Structure 1
Amino acid sequence: MYKAIIVEDEMFVRMGIRMSVEWEKLGVEIAGDAENGQAAWELYEKEHPDIVLTDIKMPVMTGIELIAKIRERDKRTRIVILSCLEEFSMIKEAMSLGVTDYILKLTMTQEDMVAVMDKVIGELKIYDASVSAGEYSESTTEKRLIEITHYNKTQTLQELSQAALPFDRKNMLLAVLEINHMDRLQEQFHDKYGDIVQYSLLNIFNELLEQYMKKGVVLSENERTYLILAGNAAKPVSMAEFSLDELLRAIIRTLDKYFHIRPTVAVSQMCDGLEHLHAMRLQCNEVLEYRYLYPSGSILKYTAVMQQDFGQGIREILSEIQKHSVALSRSTDFLRGLEEEILRRPTSQTCVRLFGQMAELEMKETFMSDQQRLQVMRNLQESLERSENLPDLAQNYLRYVQSLSDLSVDSVVYLSKPVSMAVEFIKRNYRQEIQLSDLSDYAQVSPNYICSLFKKEVGMNISKYVMEYRIKKAKVLLLTTNMKSYEIAVETGFANESYFSRSFKKMTGVSPSEFRRQEYEGSI
């Protein structure tokens, strides 16, 4: 019999779901229901259900937040969303967290529920069969160790007190490896449930553990891997920490070489005794809250991270963005608020949300249609969510800001990667003759494709964009230097002074010398 819980803020809907089918005939027992995400999380921890049927919009804790918390702990539990049509965008977000299916509450029939439950139970049977058949199923001791990292239960500690463990109970360290974008790795290996990937990773971890530390145990839980390690009690603490550093660097190198991933690693303080494992895990969790402020592949030690002042680095990143932003140059208070909020909770979700708010401010300075704004935000959101860390996020955002400032206001769009690379090539090479073949090679697409895509996104062809960019640079030189007209022509990529003067007058209506004179007189 599989155990299920129902999460829905409307009592009559909860009752309706309970009565919608004969659950026992499906092999399902309803273990309880909850009216919000927080109550559901408490029920989940108490009942450990196989199936969760949950609404999305709820008070206290939303369904999205509940699903994310469950997936941090457990990838086996099957989740079904109870939704309305207007929540479709939220359904899409939830599905990305590993949801089996969804049911529309207002149109749900008995047949719909039975079909979804058949699908859910089928997935559970396949999952359980694959785990029981594999060598990677956890031993009882390993399960107990994972349990006491989450809950410091006296009974579990007593059970382990006499157990033969593969490490000393002195000089203990806990290292937690978190792999970003595990879903991409599963997709690469066509591994729907992640078991093949997890088995492969565990083999690598255990081999390297034997090579570098000898004593320790590797425990796996979703996107996180726990390494419980202990140095030789007869050796200095510094020796144990040195061996740990070597092990962790070897793990990062190996995963980068064979899987093209660079995990972030959190390391607790050193302690003696299993009763400290829970506190050590909390230390690692606290450290991982700051992982977005570091490059991928970093080894983050609790003491060092807790002593670090992140404010200066965040201020420098936001200051650089402000230099290139029209909207934010006038919003010092807004930037100060961003800095405080990032420092308070520097997670990827927080940073992506805040940078999205900055983007909305930036778009208010342009004349885009609602449709254009929607397309810009959709593309930008995807780019921000792919960012590995805060510096990477800032670079993606600066590319967005640059795309707004470089294009004419009536054709502003967020640039695709090929067009962005084409624009970058033009900016780097505008002083010399630009060949389409060189530009397309740099953008890694065919000449015909880049011409078509550039015109579609920028609103003008490449040659016109190059001309406008050269004239823009020429204007700057005319106003900020005493360079002669022929010198500016050479500096901005024109073949000769005559061609420069004709092109400048055609685009601005005046000659270069007249432009300089008018601007000078206007400033007096």
Structure 2
Amino acid sequence: MYRILIAEDEMLVRLGLKSMIEWDKFNMKVIADVANGQDAWRVYEEHRPEIIITDIKMPVMDGMELISKIRLQDQHTKIVILTCLEQFNLLHKAMSLGVSDYIVKLTMTSEEMENVLQKLHTELQASQPQIKVIPNLDVDALKENIFKDFMFRNRYTENEFSNTIAGMNLRLKAIKLTLCIMEIDQYKQLQDKFKDEKGQLIRISLLNVLEEVLQSHGRGEAFHDEDNRYVLLFSFHDMVSEQKITEILQQILEHIRKVMLSYFNVSISFGISTQKNGYSALRLQYNDSIQVLEKKFFLGFGAVLNCREGSEKRFEEIIKEKLVQHIHKWETVDEEQSKAMYISVSNLYESGSLSIKADIKGMFVQWLQWPMSSLHVSDAGKVSLFASYADRLLRATILDQMIDISNEFLDQIIEIKSQRKLSREVIKVLSYIERSYAGDIPLQQAASHVGISPGYLSALFKKEMGINFVEYLLKFRIEKAKALLLSTQMKSYEIAERVGMDNHTYFSKMFKRTTGVGPREFRNQWMTNPVEENAGYEED
């Protein structure tokens, strides 16, 4: 099914487009509709839709800039312009960038739109790559088995493997060997596109393409590793200059990248080993390439990662810059929380753990918990909100996706807070609780703080918040405790004291009544390396 992205700043136009067309009729579906070019660019980078319908004039990034950026990477995506009569001078410029068609918004009809979609459907069908299947498939299977038998199963000696390779007339020598791991980014989308759940057709097709590219350069061999991963082996026995070797390798990998984008509309990432002599080094080179490719999580899709390049500290500095930039957005919601987030990032950086994927994911999940204490929704609503975003964060494949999910979560928090209309007195009490929850706060003291009677405050608070003052204070303290359990290594009794509940037994009992689990179990559920506690001390 062809995917469509709509970019239009007028909401009514977007809604009209989505509702006036029977998209299934053209084997199409709208995967996103956005209000500006910047959001459209993000969607394009992540999903690579076959069709983009875009306005010319939009905020943040206009349609002309969006089209220009897309055309720098991709000449195949179909683009339809939504225009007004006075924009025909811009339309002429847009058409020069390879725009497929245009629609005048003021006179747009469903019939006119369907005619354009039918035309695009025909063009896309005609341009669908004809996948060539290698008739001699057993050669690829044989080559794959030989390499894997030697590298992973120890079924050949180095001498036996060398003789076997020589007998197959492969483009390979045991001198100046470089191993590259090629990984298909967003492999599931490729499977969906080709309706290839098992991936067999994709594997055959990709190996065929790789063979053609490597053959054209007269260098290198490729075999399938697993799922979305392929191994490329190169020997540069005929070259002396290391600079020239690097240039040739870059040319080959760039050629592969362009072909994969053109034929399959996918991005790929590479992990490149250091250069070694002798086939005995292949397993080490493979492990090094896999390890360096792990950094793709932090750098994003399309990464080319070399074992020889850069220090680990500089790499962590890049990650830190990304995270600090993300934290700035949290300052708009809670300055105190944003400071705590910065501290958690700095701690990971100082300990050298900022490039450990599990630690980053755990930290993002912890951050979800922090705004919950000041969120005035039901307990079930908090659990649902937290669980849905935590699940998405844990399933994210790159850091940029996690940042986008976290930003989306923050936008939802802001929206929820803006919907709640509270009286001045209740707002002052909530602010007072936020500042003073670690101490003793009886109802009388809170009422005195805002200048009203305890009875009136009790009734007003229950009316506006849906729970009484004492229940709210307890839940607020529990939410703060949950955040501390996930973001610090403090013992649960220390946390109890920090949130104003000096009696640890009472704290543990209330925590379990509120969350369904005790403090230690809650921490173990979400932290990768939970702190050890005295099991006999905590009452779950």
TM-score range, shorter chain: 0.3 to 0.5
Give the TM-score normalised by the residue count of structure 1: 0.48
Give the TM-score normalised by the residue count of structure 2: 0.47
